[in-house]
Structure 1
C-alpha cells in the first residue's frame, strides 16, 4: 500500500466512525465535496497541513489518531514533493516554484525513496519529542509546520513599531511584469497591461517598495523570535500561508485573458488554478478571494489588531475575454469574511457574517489572538466593477518582540483584480469540448 493510499484509508476510517457525510465535512473544511471525496479515495492529497488538522478535529479524532494521520500525510507529502520535482510543467511559460508548493490540493505522483525516508525519519524523531512533552494535537500540527521551515516564497515580515511601514507602493506605478519575462519592461503598445503572476501561496513583506522591487529572502521562523537591535524593525513572530486563487464553493470563479477561446484549455479544478491562470496570462475577473492562515512562531501569543487595504494602482480594465470556471455550482456554506470594495476612494476590510445551512456565522472582528497552538484564518473577498486594480493588505500585529505590519501580497508583487464590463463571457461546453458564449 502506498503512502497516499494509507493516508486515504485513515481518512475514510475517521469519517465512517464519525458518521458524517462528505457534504457536512466539506462545509467544515471549507472545500468542495468532490475534493474531499478525492482525498478519501487517494486520488489527491491536501497540500496544506491545516486541512488535515481540521479534518481530524471535525471527526473527533483522539490525540494518537491525530498523530497517526499527520504522520501518514507527512510521508505521502514527501513522496509527492520529490515526485513533483521530476515532472515537467506542461505550459509554455515558467511557473514560479511557490505556486506548485502551496496548492490546496495536489495530485499524488510517485517519487524516489531517499527523500521519503529522510522525511519519515525526521517525523519519527519529532513525534517522539512531542509525545514526551505531552503537547496537545493542535500544538503537534503547528510544531511540525514550524520545524519544516517556510516553503519557497513563504511570507516574511518586518514593520516599524506602531506604524504600518508596509505601504510603500505608489499609486502611479504600472502593472508588474509577468512571471518568466525576466525584465520589468513596460507593457506592449496595445495598451493592455501585463498580468501579475498568480500564485497559490504568496509572500507577505513588511516594507514593500515599488511594483518592480525584489522581495527580500524568506526568514526561517525560530522557536522564539530574536530580540530586535536598537533602531531596527522587530521580527514578526508570525507564519502566514496565503492562497490567492480561492473559488466560491470550490467551483465558481472567472478569469480575464487576452487569448481567444480556441487557444484556451478547459477549466481546471481549483487546485490547479494558479498554474492554469499563469499559462493563460489571466487575471481575476470582477472578484478575488484571498485566504490567509496565520499562527505564531514563538512561545507567546500575537494579537492581530487590524487589516488595512492598500490600492497601489488603478487602470482601465483590459478588453479581454471572460472565462467562467463553472456553469453553475453552489453549496450550503457561505463563509464569514472581510469584504473589500476596490472601487472606493479608501477601501476598507468590512466584516461580513456568513451562513451555514441557515445558521448565521458571526462576522470576523479584530483584535484576534493567535499563537503556535491557536491558528487563525482570514478570508478576504475583494470586488471591483470599474478598475484593473493592484492591491495588497497590511496586517498590523503586536507580540512579545514589539509591534509591526505584515504585508500580504503576491510574493512581493501586488494582488491583481480587474473589472470586466461588457466583455465577452465564455463557459466551457463539456458535450462539445470547447468554450462557447
Structure 2
C-alpha cells in the first residue's frame, strides 16, 4: 500500500466512525464534496496541514489518531514532492556453493565462524542481498524521520496548527534551498549593507596543485571563522510555498486569456502548475508560507523580516478568475501582513483566530534549530500596483550573522492589483466560467 493510499484509508475510517456524510464534512471543511471524496479515495492529497487538522476534529479523532493521520499525510506529501520512486535494481546473483562430501567441514569458499567454548548453538539468519538491506534501511529511516517531523510540527504550530512542509536543502555551511523557492546564502556584516542572491550548490573540496583534496571538517567541529570581507553561509534550510490559499480554497488569479480558454480551477496543491500554464498572477493578495529548519547542531536566532519591492508597474487589464465561489473557515492563522502600496512596506504582525480562541501574533526574535522548525506566514496585498517583491530574513548564530532571501525559485514574487477588472467564477453545474 502506497503512502497516499494509507492516508486515504485513515481518512475513510475516521469518516465512517464519525458517521458524517461527505456533504456535511465538506461544509465544515469549507471545500467541495467532490474534492473531499478525492481525498478519501486516494485520488488527491490535501495541500495544507490545516485541512487535515480540521478533518480530524470534525470526525472526533483522539489525540493519538490525529497524530497518526498527520504522520500519514507527511509521508504521502513527501512522496508526492519526491516524485515517482525509481525501480529497484536487479539483485546480484547469490553464489552457489557446492556441498562438501565430508561431513563436519565447511563448503568450499566459506569460512566457519569461531564459536566460543560453552556457547549455545545459534541458527544464523539468512543473509540478504546488499540492495535489499539498503532499501530496508532507507525506508526505515524515512519512517522515523517523518514521525519526528510530525511531532516537532505539532509542538511548534500549537495551538493554531499550520501546514508543515519539508524541503531538500544543503548541509551545514551551504546556502538554503527549497522546492518552490530559493533562499540566498547568508550575508555578513563586514560590508555594511548585506547583498543577497540565489542559493548555489556547495563547492566541492579543492586542493593545492599536486596535492590531495582537502576533506571537509566533520559536522561536530566548530565552523571556521569567515575570511575578512566574506559572508558566512546561512545555517538555515527554507521551504517556500508561494501559492497558499486562504482556508485552503479562497484565492484569485489574473490571466490574460478569455474564460473559454481557461481550464477549471485546480485544487490548491495543483495551483502552481495551473497558474504557470495560464501565465496567471496573484490578484490583489498573495500568501507566502516559509518553513525554516536549522542545518547545524546549534540554534539560530531569527531577528527580523524586511520587505523588498523591486518594481511597481501599472496592473494589467486582465480577467480575474476566482478559485472558489465563497469560502471561509474558523481558523485564521497568525501572520505578518504586508501592504505593498506603502512607500516602505513593513511586515506587520497580526494575531490569528482558532474557532474563537485568539492566536498570538508572531514576534521576533525567534529561535530555530534542526529539531525546532519555525513556520512563517506572510500575507501581501495591493490595490494599486503590479509589484515584484521579496523578503530578507535577518539571522544570527555563533558563526556569524546575515540575511536569507525569500523569493519564488530565484525569481521575485509577483502580486498585482485587480480592481475594476472582469471577475469570473466557475459554475460547476454548467461546466464553464461565468461572469
Both proteins in one fold, TM over 0.5: yes
Q: Quick one: distance in 1 between partners of 2:352 and 2:146? A: 36
1:217-228 equivalences in 2 (<5 Å)? 217-219=200-202, 226-228=223-225
Aligned to 2:64: 61
Change (3 A) 1:341 1:154: closer
Aligned to 1:229: 226
SS class of match (2:88): helix
Aligned to 2:152: 138
Q: Quick one: distance in 2 between partners of 1:410 and 1:368? A: 23
Change (3 A) 1:219 1:362: farther
1:180-227 alpha-carbon deviations (Å, 9 max, x no partner): xxxxxxxxxxxxxxxxxxxxxxxxxxx13xxxxxx443459x966843
Q: Quick one: distance in 2 between partners of 1:54 and 1:316? A: 40
**Unmatched 5+ residue regions in structure 1?**
84-110, 169-206, 209-214
Change (3 A) 1:18 1:233: farther
**Unmatched 5+ residue regions in structure 2?**
90-130, 157-164, 171-176, 204-217
TM-superposed CA distance for 1:49, in Å, is 9.3
TM-superposed CA distance for 1:80, in Å, is 7.6
TM-superposed CA distance for 1:160, in Å, is 2.6
CA contact (8 A) 1:311 1:392 kept: yes
Change (3 A) 1:61 1:235: farther
Q: Quick one: distance in 1 between partners of 2:300 and 2:250? A: 34
TM-superposed CA distance for 1:10, in Å, is 4.7
Compute the TM-score of the two structures, normalised by the length of structure 2: 0.67
1:237-274 alpha-carbon deviations (Å, 9 max, x no partner): 11111111111111111111111111111111111111
Aligned to 2:186: 159
1:413-424 equivalences in 2 (<5 Å)? 413-424=411-422
CA contact (8 A) 1:291 1:377 kept: yes
TM-superposed CA distance for 1:358, in Å, is 1.7
TM-superposed CA distance for 1:17, in Å, is 9.3
CA contact (8 A) 1:14 1:61 kept: no
Q: Quick one: distance in 2 between partners of 1:12 and 1:433? A: 28
Q: Quick one: distance in 2 between partners of 1:269 and 1:376? A: 26
1:46-125 equivalences in 2 (<5 Å)? 60-61=63-64, 70=71, 74=75, 77-78=78-79, 81-83=82-84, 113-114=87-88, 121-125=137-141
SS class of match (2:421): coil
Change (3 A) 1:343 1:376: same
Compute the TM-score of the two structures, normalised by the length of structure 1: 0.67
Aligned length: 359
Change (3 A) 1:431 1:49: closer
Change (3 A) 1:253 1:76: closer
TM-superposed CA distance for 1:16, in Å, is 8.7
Aligned to 2:302: 304
SS class of match (1:327): coil
Change (3 A) 1:408 1:113: same
SS class of match (1:272): helix
TM-superposed CA distance for 1:120, in Å, is 5.3
Change (3 A) 1:113 1:254: same
TM-superposed CA distance for 1:125, in Å, is 4.8
TM-superposed CA distance for 1:311, in Å, is 0.4
Cα RMSD of the aligned pairs, angstroms, is 4.7
1:293-330 alpha-carbon deviations (Å, 9 max, x no partner): 11211111111110100000101111111111111111
Change (3 A) 1:371 1:414: same
CA contact (8 A) 2:335 2:352 kept: yes
TM-superposed CA distance for 1:121, in Å, is 3.7
CA contact (8 A) 1:78 1:119 kept: no
TM-superposed CA distance for 1:162, in Å, is 3.8
Aligned to 1:325: 323
Aligned to 1:90: none
Q: Quick one: distance in 2 between partners of 1:13 and 1:364? A: 36
SS class of match (1:61): helix
Q: Does 1:287 align with 2:314?
A: no
TM-superposed CA distance for 1:126, in Å, is 6.3
Aligned to 2:379: 381
Change (3 A) 1:81 1:302: closer
Which of the residues 370, 392, 401 maps onto 1:394? 392
TM-superposed CA distance for 1:79, in Å, is 7.7
Aligned to 2:343: 345
1:27-66 alpha-carbon deviations (Å, 9 max, x no partner): xxx9969777754543334678999999999953399x86
Q: Quick one: distance in 2 between partners of 1:322 and 1:393? A: 26
Q: Quick one: distance in 2 between partners of 1:301 and 1:264? A: 47
